[in-house]
Amino acid sequence: MTRKTLPVSLLVSSSVALLLASAVPATDWKPADPNRPHPPKVTPPIGDNGAPSDAIRLFSGKDLAAWQHAKGKPADWKLADDYMEVVPGTGDLQTKEPYGDCQLHVEWAARFSPFPAEGARFADGVVIKKFPPAFAGQWPGNSGVILMSLYEIQILESYENTTYADGQAAAVYCQYPPLVNASLPLGQWQTYDIVFHAPRFSDDGALQTPATITLLHNGVLVQDHVSLTGPTTTARRPPYKAHAAKLPLTLQDHLQPVRYRNIWIRPLEEGK
C-alpha cells in the first residue's frame, strides 16, 4: 500500500503545536518584550519513520533496546522489517525509562487473529475460563497504549467492529469514547498523536489536578483535553492513588498480534 505518513505527520505537528502554544500560561514578561527568550528551534518530522529533532526515539524499526517486560525480562516481541509485533502471551512491553508529561507518537496496525479458545492464558497467568458477551467485540486487534502504565488509550479494529463505545479504538478505555471514529480498515497503518499531562498530587497524597489527554487519531482530533477520572481498567473507574511523577510507558499484550512502528516521545516542561 502507499504510505501517507508525511502529510499526517505535518498536519499533526502543526495541530499539536497550536494546542501546546495555547496552554502556555501568562508570565511576568511584558507583551512584545524584545528581551523575552525565543523558543528553541525544532525540525519537524520528515518522511516515513520521521520524528522531531528533539524527540526520543523509542522504536525506529531497528531494535527493542528501549523496551523490556515487567521485572526487567528482555523484550521478545517479534521484530521484522520496520515494525515490532506482539507475540501473544509473552506479556506487555514497558519502556526502560519513565515518563510523565509528554507528546507521544505511535503508529500501529491491527492484524487478523482467530478468536481464542477458552482456557487461553495471559502472560500474567490469568486463564480465560468463560468469555463474557462483550469480549467478542474486543477482537481482533486489541492492544493499548498505556501512559504511565496506568492510563490506557485503546487499540482495536474499529473500522467494522462494533463494541462498547468507550472500548473502541482511540477511547480512553472505559472512560471516554472518541469524538468520532477515524479508524482505517484492518491491516492498515494508523497513527496516534497524544498530548498527555500527568496528574498532580499534594505532599499528603491528595489529588490536586487530574491527568489530561488530547488525542489525534490519523490526524483527526478525537479526545479534546479530557480529564481522566483515575486509572483505566475494564468496566470500573477506580480512584486516583498518588504515584511518581514519571512512570514507564506500556504497550499491551492482549493475546493478539498487533504491530507497532515509529514510536517517539517528547517530554514536556511547564511553559515559560
Task: Please report, for the domain that includes residue 206, its CATH number.
Answer: 2.60.120.560
Amino acid at 51: A
Instruction: Give the residue from 145, 80, 88 showing the smallest Cα distance to 112.
Output: 88
What pLDDT is stored for residue 22 in this prediction? 43
The pLDDT of residue 7: 42
C-alpha cell at 132: 463474557
Within-domain flag for 89: yes
226 lies in some domain: yes
Of 72, 5, 2, 4, the closest CA to residue 263 belongs to 5
CB-CB neighbours of 28 under 10 Å: 5
In a domain, 45, yes or no: no
Per-residue pLDDT at 246: 97
Region of residue 81 (left: phi > 0; alpha: psi -120 to 50; beta: else): left
Tell me, yes or no, whether 33 lies in a domain: no
Q: Give the domain extent around 234.
A: 54-267
Q: What is the pTM of this model?
A: 0.84
**Closest Cα partner for 258 from 128, 149, 152, 113?**
113
In this prediction, residue 124 carries a pLDDT of: 55
User: What phi, psi does 17 have (nearest 5°)?
Assistant: -60, -40
Residues of the chain scoring pLDDT < 70 = 1-26, 113-136, 139, 270-272
Cα distance between residue 155 and residue 253, in whole Å: 11
pLDDT at 49: 84
Q: How many domains does one find in the chain? A: 1
Q: What pLDDT was estimated at residue 141?
A: 85
Residue 90 counted as domain residue:
yes
Instruction: Please report, rounded to a whole number, the percentage of residues in the chain having pLDDT higher than 70.
Output: 79
For the stretch 48-69, pLDDT in tens is 888 999 999 999 999 999 999 9
Report the alpha-carbon distance of residue 224 to residue 200 in Å, rounded.
19
pLDDT tens-digit readout, 197-234: 999 999 999 999 999 999 999 999 999 999 999 999 88
Rounded distance between C-alpha atoms, residue 250 and residue 131, angstroms: 25
Task: Spell out the residues 6+ positions from residue 113 whose beta carbon is closer than 8 angstroms to its own.
Answer: 88, 139, 140, 141, 255, 256, 257
Question: DSSP alpha helices (H): ranges in 39-99?
Answer: none
Q: Does residue 58 sit within a domain?
A: yes
Confidence (pLDDT) at 50: 87
197, part of any domain: yes
- Is residue 17 in some structural domain? no
Contact criterion met (CB below 8 Å) for 125 and 118: no
